[in-house]
A and B are shown apart, each in its own frame.
Chain A
């Protein structure tokens, strides 16, 4: 008997009491009724020490501090308008060591959840592969206001489980020393969010 068959047989034997079917009560909130989702998102992002900027006009100023910038291959050209530093497109894919030598990465996202201050990347448009947003020490992430939802259940309906996902809530942090939160461990130590409206 293979381990697989044996484990499945053990589990079937264990359920010999034939437990009754379970009706899952889903009385929790599926849609957020808060009026100011963007305000909530900003509040939650800043609570976890992310820095929030408003409008695409903030980008040139932010990028002017960055000497070596990584971007996914499909980054929108208007995000880079006027950028004078070294631009490193992820094609061919940058090695981990090459990424480690860069100052920042600029990407978009798939969804942002206001309630928890979470930005979700799913390797979709303007996001690139996972290593890109992991190794550089500073992540500049552009969030369009139409990508903002209130609650987690609203975000999940927009996501495809087959896509690799990274959910980001503030910069890298740890609570391992006396249960107090400190920012800045292995992931990017600086997270900057640029909120832009539709059509910009």
Chain B
């Protein structure tokens, strides 16, 4: 037994501080938030459906995407070694980080070595996951988010609530208010027109882009055979950060690999249509190490485990590593649409977050998240890489710790249900016992249900009614016909 080789769980902003139902409660009661989320998710669902429907080979692309990612997982160690060799040969320096703290230490040290006290940032889930901005700030380095939604969240001193659009929980009026309050150079007569808000962000960041010396990015894909990194974006803030500074540091989860450059032909069709609902996002940048006299001349890549090895170790949960962070599952999820992203605690919200976060941390640390779902399966239908999210949710629910009373109840129920004779007898007993009560509830409330049970069963009725047995079973009724 060699302890260091044991797959390890991760740290960072991937744990829910509160159980999901507790965290979701204020969000569900916030009518403004509900309205913002409803409007935004409905818009994006319609856009996605339109551009997916026009692709005749969409299912073939999904099948290919799913298989390529399964192949990556199977060959992850050798592909990482190949990526490292290709990127290094092209002039990049590759670093490895076991967890969030180590990744942050590496980025801080590289920024200091470049002599910079500020960095411009391209939107990146990996850097949000490892809480890089906080680590940079602690080292006296200012981190400027340049993606519009990340900028809104940063200025509002908030946290992201969506993978693709971190500020999805704000409407235009709220965004104008944040800009007027926190953006020193915002026009005094700023309107809430999206075009005017985008213009204000352009003016605010322009000088910073032109003078930045160090940029920090993530990557959507890392290509093993060529050593290429790919960033997909819309605004041009990504291009600014990836092109103008002298030094570029990219923080990349180890699962982001693709075996070959050709595989991009699948993923660059799947990703834009699934995420922003566009045929293609406005800008995609690809770079392979250093290109003399073009773009950053010092290129660093930090490969991060932070719990991914633990996800890989579970053959049922492993496909969660196929995720390309498109957010389609968030946008169709009835639970996400009502609770919003913050209720999930982790930087990864929604259905994918409900399976990824508990696997990254170990299920015991995020035990409520696998239950943040109705198991309706809409997420599986839209997933561009066909992650069977409901199946993994059920698998994780089985692993989650359960209270002793629940375990005992389930053991008894399981014993009863294992025999048709015991089950029929139990039902007869329940009908006899609940008969008068059921009739009473029917008269009083029009339904044979109980609203509240005493503790400990109150945990069950907190968010549901308890149906009482019907006066007659279907079998009894059938027998009499």
Contact = CB atoms under 8 A, between A and B. Distances in A.
Interface of A: 1-4, 6-17, 19-29, 44, 47-48, 93, 96-97, 100, 113, 115-118, 123, 129-131, 134-135, 152-153, 156-157, 159, 161-188
B309 A176 contact: no
7 contacts: A14-B312, A153-B262, A157-B262, A172-B234, A174-B234, A175-B276, A176-B235
B419 interface: no
B286 A44 contact: no
Interface residues of B, number: 105
A170 to B, nearest CB: 5
A28 B57 contact: yes
Nearest to B263: A24
Interface centre among B64, B266, B309 (most CB of A within 10 A): B309
B236 A188 contact: yes
A3 B98 contact: yes
A6 B81 CA distance: 13
Interface stretch (B66-74, B335-343, B344-352, B461-469): B66-74
Contacts of A97: 210
Contacts of A185: 148, 198, 201-202, 234-237
Interface string B1-24: 010111110000000000000000
Interface of B: 2, 4-8, 36, 39-41, 43-44, 47, 56-57, 60-61, 63-64, 67-68, 70-71, 73-74, 76-77, 80-81, 84, 90, 95-98, 102, 146-149, 152, 165, 167-168, 171-172, 175, 194-195, 197-199, 201-202, 205-206, 209-211, 223, 225-226, 228, 234-237, 239-240, 242-244, 254, 261-262, 264-266, 268-269, 272, 276, 278-288, 291, 293-295, 303, 305, 309-310, 312-313, 315, 318
Contacts of B8: 10
Contacts of B2: 9
Shortest 9 CB-CB contacts between residues of A and residues of B: A187-B236, A161-B226, A14-B313, A186-B236, A9-B5, A185-B235, A116-B280, A167-B284, A10-B309
A123 B291 contact: yes
B5 A12 contact: yes
B266 A174 contact: no
A24 B64 contact: yes
Contacts of A8: 77, 80-81
A193 to B, nearest CB: 14
Contacts of B197: 177
A156 B239 contact: no
Contact of B315 (A17, A152, A159): A17
B285 A177 contact: no
A164 B284 CA distance: 11
Contacts of A9: 2, 4-5
A134 B236 contact: yes
Nearest to A170: B282
Contacts of A6: 4-5, 98
B198 A164 contact: no
A178 B98 contact: no
B99 to A, nearest CB: 9
Nearest to A120: B284
Contacts of B303: 7
A68 B288 CA distance: 32
A7 B198 contact: no
Contacts of A152: 265, 268-269
Given A168-B282, A173-B235, A184-B195, A22 B205 contact: no
A169 B201 CA distance: 21
